[in-house]
Amino acid sequence: MAHEPADRTPTPVDAIAERWVATLVDLSPDTATYIGAPGRLDEYTDFSPEGRERYAAAARATLAELAAASPVDDTDRVTIADLSAELSLDLELADAGWDQRDLNVIASPAQGIREIFDLMPTAAEGDWRTIAGKLGNVAGALEGYTATLREGIAAGNTPARRQVLEVLDQARRTAAADGFFPEFAASAGEGEAPVPASLQADLDRNARAAAEAYGAFAQFLEAELLPAAREHDPVGRELYALMSRRFLGAVIDLDETYEWGIEELARMVEEQTRIAGEILPGATVAEAIAHLEQDPSRKLHGREALQAWMQNLSDTAIEELSRTHFEIPEPVKELECMIAPTPGGAIYYTGPTDDFSRPGRMWWSIPEGVDEFDTWRETTTVYHEGVPGHHLQIGQAVYNRAQLNSWRRLLAGTSGHAEGWALYAERLMEELGYLDDPADRLGMLDGQRMRAARVVLDIGVHLGKTHPETGAVWTSDDAFAFMRKNVNMNDGFVTFEVNRYLGWPGQAPSYKVGQRIWEQIRDAAKAKQGAAFSNKAFHKHALDLGGVGLDTLRGALLG
């Protein structure tokens, strides 16, 4: 049974953080949807230059408040350090013109304006009225975003041509008459209690308008942004350093990390080769994988089978780990495994609402035409996205209301903290005996090898480093060949992944670098505490902090 955290009296620093959350909810109604807070849920963030400036002004005001604040305790000190670092970096990125070129294949407003509908409640008639209003506001959101991208065109600060072409294809699919919006609106009439005809008419009309807005956005991309787009993918050292800090919440030596990435990749290859021999004596990694892919006992057929399998595996892990290695609060024990409504190919997690009325969810976005799945590949993915990975980490923070302000529980943190923890959790599950099957362990190593390769590829391409195999300067073409060599995935997956790295600099390495920093911190805590060290206590202390940057995490856990 998990222990209830002791209450803590909110401080003036907590009040500053709470006001910042309220400001975010006001400036970004999508933030309210994500955390389950009340707000203008039928509206959108203002992605226009004027909206960006309003955000910057609010960030500057909050930074001034934090600078003048006096911390009461260590919790305050963490809040001041981490929120100040995040807001300062947001302003640095704005000054560097990132907003003007923020278009990529996976995580830019081009996708977010559509994807927020995946998190909107649909159980009640009032929910669908909110959705109808938001569908009617898609056009305005895209127009504001377009204005910012046009500002970038005028300044000669544009995304790479590769990203524009890929997003153009995405926008055209979203704009289709049989695309997401019409199908989503039609689903309102398919349940046990269909919405009234007048509301259905509003939904259908506004869904058509939303699809048409994406059509207009596609025309802008083709006619205006594409001719102005940069031909080259690399962003260079200065911008890359900012993005690396954004995703890690830590300053790292990029050159040392590149060399470490090369060494880590070699270690992963050696480990994979050894495990392949356990699966099939004398086999190469490719031969062991081919052998596993012919094993019908490790196959799932159909989306329903995949969903049921991952839900069962997740439920089992939560039940067993809560009895042994982790204190898991009751609300966090619920995790829904979902098939995503769009076929992008990503696997991702969305956190619970503040009151846990919407539980944490693990999403599988299955590419079109894919109907067969290998359990040996995906066992470690369930642990990565679920427990003890993202769901435990994020759910524990949301639950810790007695100790943490809303910003710390619901919005703080970095990719390096979250994704680093999730990779750390995969290795932890190996330590705990959950990956004793060599096939499942090979699947884990397949992912770990990919993440190591991404460190080398991402830093190598964007900083123009020397390729470890050719001795020449990295090119974008090298990236595709390097990735194909280091993952056992189809070409469609490789293409999507590399396009993602090229358009979202610094994010892909944050997984493996974050894992490295988590492991360094745990090793340092072990050395410091000696025989008194407990994995269970270390993990609870770390997760009770909520989301923080990795430099903040190191300071909080090691002093």
Is the omega angle on the peptide bond into residue 109 within 30 degrees of 0, that is, cis? no
Structure tokens at 51: 């909206």
Lowest mean pLDDT among 37-41, 273-277, 463-467: 37-41
Tell me, what's the pLDDT at 1? 39
For 44-87, the three-class secondary structure string (H helix, E strand, C coil) is CCCCCHHHHHHHHHHHHHHHHHHHHCCCCCHHHHHHHHHHHHHH
d(CA 559, CA 554): 8
d(CA 244, CA 454): 13
Percent of the chain at pLDDT > 90 equals 85
Closest residue by Cα to residue 445 from 311, 263, 265: 265
* Global confidence as pTM: 0.88
Indicate the length of the chain as a whole number.
559
Lowest mean pLDDT among 265-274, 363-372, 545-554: 363-372
**Within 13 Å, how many C-alpha atoms sit on residue 142's CB side?**
26
Lowest mean pLDDT among 180-184, 296-300, 484-488: 484-488
Query: What are the Cα distances from residue 422, in Å, to 64, 279, 363, 426, 450?
Result: 34, 26, 15, 6, 14
Average pLDDT, the chain: 93
Band the pLDDT of 364: cuts 50, 70, 90: confident
Bridge partner list, 299: 374
Closest residue by Cα to residue 528 from 507, 558, 491, 493: 558
Tens digit of each residue's pLDDT (9 = 90 or more) over 202-255? 999 999 999 999 999 999 999 999 999 999 999 999 999 999 999 999 999 999
d(CA 330, CA 326): 12
DSSP letter at 337? E
- Check pLDDT > 70 for residue 295: yes
- Check pLDDT > 60 for residue 199: yes
- Check: CB of residue 221 under 8 Å from CB of residue 168: yes
Rg, the chain, Cα only? 23
Tell me, what's the pLDDT at 514? 97
Mean pLDDT of 283-288: 93
Mean pLDDT of 309-319: 96
Bridge partner list, 349: 362
